[in-house]
């Protein structure tokens, strides 16, 4: 009887809540040393601006490194992760395969805010230090962002910045070095999940 009970526990273990949580969190490591975001992207990179200056942010032939920091963004819609697509802010993106998945560069120009791979990392690379906002990134992506929705996903938006609730318009959130942003659209709300930057060289 004990042997049968033990066998049933082994068979049912993958279906327990703990098993589901472990499986959901076991995302593969990406080429930047940050786990990849798995799921259906919120919107394709193809909607993004194609070279014209957006909100004073230019698209240059080469990446700018005078000011170079990284912000992480995770978006959940009704409890499901909806990744940022690689290629936002890269005009005519082209992917190079790595051992950890594709890494994208631009063949025409790089906006000062852009995404290289599907790990949620926004690269802020500009010719000088200045304040950039999440709203400006969404303007480059040409997706809407407000307290009532993110892209085509409509519903109340709950915003977290570095684990703390942010009460203002999510467009106003400031991007910066190792800033960790999470947007929850609708319900159920997802508890904040921080990024371990120590696994990368970003």
- Picking from 109, 114, 112, 100, the residue whose alpha carbon sits closest to that of residue 45 is 114
For the segment 144-154, what is each residue's pLDDT rounded down to a tens digit?
Answer: 999 999 999 99
* Number of compact structural domains in the chain: 1
Question: What is the residue range of 48's domain?
Answer: 2-197
Decide if pLDDT at 22 tops 90. no
Domain-embedded: residue 69? yes
For the segment 24-65, what is each residue's pLDDT rounded down to a tens digit?
Answer: 457 899 999 999 999 999 999 999 999 999 999 999 999 999
Decide if pLDDT at 18 tops 70. no
Domain-embedded: residue 202? no
Domain-embedded: residue 132? yes
Give the pLDDT score at 32. Answer: 97
Domain-embedded: residue 162? yes
């Amino acid at each position: 009887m004990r042997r049968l009970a033990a066998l049933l526990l082994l068979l049912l273990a993958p279906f327990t809540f703990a098993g589901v949580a472990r499986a959901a969190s076991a995302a593969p490591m990406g080429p930047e040393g940050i786990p990849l975001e798995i799921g259906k992207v919120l919107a394709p990179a193809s909607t993004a601006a194609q070279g014209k200056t957006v909100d004073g942010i230019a698209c240059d032939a080469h990446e700018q490194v005078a000011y170079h920091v990284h912000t992480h963004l995770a978006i959940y819609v009704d409890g499901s992760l909806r990744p940022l697509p690689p290629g936002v802010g890269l005009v005519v993106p082209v992917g190079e395969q790595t051992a950890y998945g594709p890494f994208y560069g631009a063949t025409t120009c790089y906006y000062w805010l852009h995404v290289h791979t599907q790990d949620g990392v926004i690269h802020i690379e500009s010719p000088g230090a200045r304040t950039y906002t999440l709203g400006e990134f969404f303007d480059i992506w040409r997706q809407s962002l407000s307290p009532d929705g993110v892209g085509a996903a409509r519903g109340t938006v709950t915003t977290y910045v570095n684990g703390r609730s942010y009460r203002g318009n999510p467009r106003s959130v400031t991007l910066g070095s190792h800033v960790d942003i999470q947007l929850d659209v609708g319900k159920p709300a997802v508890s904040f999940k921080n990024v371990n930057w120590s696994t990368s060289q970003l």
